[in-house]
């Protein structure tokens, strides 16, 4: 038994008597709450034609202890579908009534991922745990490419490339939302932030030992993916798996307070044009990050007003304190970006929005992005396709 499983894991083992396949290579974990088409997501995994003895799928069918009748009936229907479902791979299903204060996707993911750790230990393996959502689809090489990536012993975690389906009833809303997601990450890459990666839950993969090392999945009701990757990526051994594609749903949803489903709903129902963070926010951030080497070599620093105001009057003391903690410039740069991490950046971006730069229409932000990638042109859908190509082909 590991320290993680003893102290931090979900305490109730879901499948104590189950013996995993000897050749187990991949475990897929699917949280499922009020999902109308889990079977479609499972069929998509089955279409991968991956050797059944190497794959294990865990479904965590969950609801709050105070769930209403609609949720209970939806989950009962899903269970009936699962009982009748036939597939070539082992499928383990656990039903959980979760404490109301904690009920949500974070805890559901954690339960499934903790169980994946237990099963890997039974199989004496340290394999990848794959996060997958109950409304996703994937390419037929999805499982194969993930396994291939983790054959590299240095690989500790990664994300799979994603694309939303653009040809459904919520077409324009999902185009706008995915453009925003890509705009934000590409803007961060422009600033020089070394850990700028997409953070969708259905894209996450992590080696079992790394999952334990970072303390497992958090129990947030939303945003669990962002916070998990924010503590995982800086440990190293992270890679983007861009040779295959996960396809998240574009459907409207009220299951979480933010995320794709909520964003699509708001875009559709908002009479104004979709607005995103102002480009000046990232221009100032780039000026800040460009000075990281100067922080180590010099003492007289000039920063953008947004950064100084955000950090407070003792901003220079904060940087000097970081310098005292390390012995080399390389260590300082690493420590600096552990300090000014993705979460701190998000707080800075919100601070700029509220105090300095109001949000701008998506089209204006894309115009700024065009200046950084001069070949971008065309309609918003065309721009999205071009950004997808850029994000898939560029190595970070």
Q: What is the DSSP string of 220-277?
A: -SS-HHHHHHHHHGGGS-EEEEEEEEEE-------SSSSSHHHHHHHHHH-SSPPEE-
Query: Residues for the chain: how many in total?
Result: 396
Q: How many CB atoms neighbour CB 369 within 10 A? A: 20
Instruction: Give the separation between CA 7 and CA 87, rounded to whole angstroms.
Output: 35
On whether residue 98 sits in a domain, the answer given is yes
pLDDT for residue 252? 54
* 72 and 211 both lie in a single domain: yes
* 225 and 286 both lie in a single domain: no
pLDDT digits (tens, 9 = 90+) for 347-365: 999 999 999 999 999 999 9
Considering 220, 252, 269, which residue would you say is the last residue of a domain? 269
pLDDT digits (tens, 9 = 90+) for 24-60: 999 999 999 999 999 999 999 999 989 988 999 999 9
For residue 121, what are its two tokens? 């230990």
CA distances for 91 relative to 9, 88, 122, 344, 373, angstroms:
21, 9, 17, 39, 45
* 305 and 320 both lie in a single domain: yes
Give the domain range for residue 374: 276-393
Q: Is the pTM of this model over 0.85?
A: yes
Backbone CA torsion sign across 365, 223, 109, 167: negative
How confident is residue 165, by pLDDT bands cut at 50, 70 and 90?
A: confident
* Res 334 pLDDT > 90: yes
* Res 161 pLDDT > 60: yes
On whether residue 179 sits in a domain, the answer given is no
What CATH number is given to the structural domain containing 229?
Answer: 3.90.550.10
């Amino acid at each position: 038994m590991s320290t993680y499983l003893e102290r931090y894991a979900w305490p109730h083992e879901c499948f104590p008597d189950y013996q995993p396949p000897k050749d187990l290579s991949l475990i897929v974990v699917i949280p499922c709450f009020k999902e109308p088409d889990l079977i479609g997501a499972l069929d998509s995994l089955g279409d991968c034609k991956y050797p059944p003895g190497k794959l294990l799928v865990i479904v965590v069918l969950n609801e709050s202890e105070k769930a209403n009748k609609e949720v209970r009936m939806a989950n009962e229907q899903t269970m009936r579908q699962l009982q009748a479902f036939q597939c070539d791979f082992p499928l383990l299903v656990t039903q959980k009534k979760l404490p109301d204060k904690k009920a949500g996707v974070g805890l559901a993911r954690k339960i499934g991922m903790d169980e994946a750790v237990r099963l890997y230990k039974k199989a004496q393996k340290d394999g990848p745990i794959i996060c997958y959502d109950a409304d996703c689809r994937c390419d037929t090489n999805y499982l194969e490419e993930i396994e291939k990536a983790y054959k590299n012993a240095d690989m500790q975690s990664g994300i799979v490339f994603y694309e939303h389906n653009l040809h459904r009833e919520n077409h324009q809303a999902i185009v706008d939302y995915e453009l925003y997601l890509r705009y934000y990450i590409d803007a961060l890459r422009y600033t020089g932030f070394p850990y700028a990666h997409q953070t969708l839950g259905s894209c996450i993969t992590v080696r079992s030992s790394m999952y334990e090392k970072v303390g497992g999945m958090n129990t947030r009701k939303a945003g669990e993916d962002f916070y998990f990757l924010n503590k995982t990526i800086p440990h190293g051994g992270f890679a983007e798996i861009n040779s295959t594609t996960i396809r998240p749903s574009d459907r409207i949803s009220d299951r979480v307070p933010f995320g794709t489903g909520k964003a699509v709903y708001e875009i559709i129902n908002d009479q104004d044009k979709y607005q995103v963070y102002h480009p000046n926010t990232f221009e100032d951030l780039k000026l800040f990050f460009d000075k990281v080497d100067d922080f180590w070599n010099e003492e007289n620093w000039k920063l953008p007003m947004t950064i100084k105001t955000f950090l407070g009057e003792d901003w220079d003391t904060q940087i000097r304190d970081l310098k005292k903690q390390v012995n080399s410039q390389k260590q300082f740069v690493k420590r600096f970006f552990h300090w000014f991490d993705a979460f701190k950046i998000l707080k800075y971006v919100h601070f700029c929005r509220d105090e300095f730069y109001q949000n701008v229409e998506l089209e204006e932000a894309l115009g700024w992005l065009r200046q950084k990638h001069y070949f971008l042109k065309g309609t918003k859908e065309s721009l999205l396709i071009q950004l997808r190509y850029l994000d898939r082909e560029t190595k970070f």
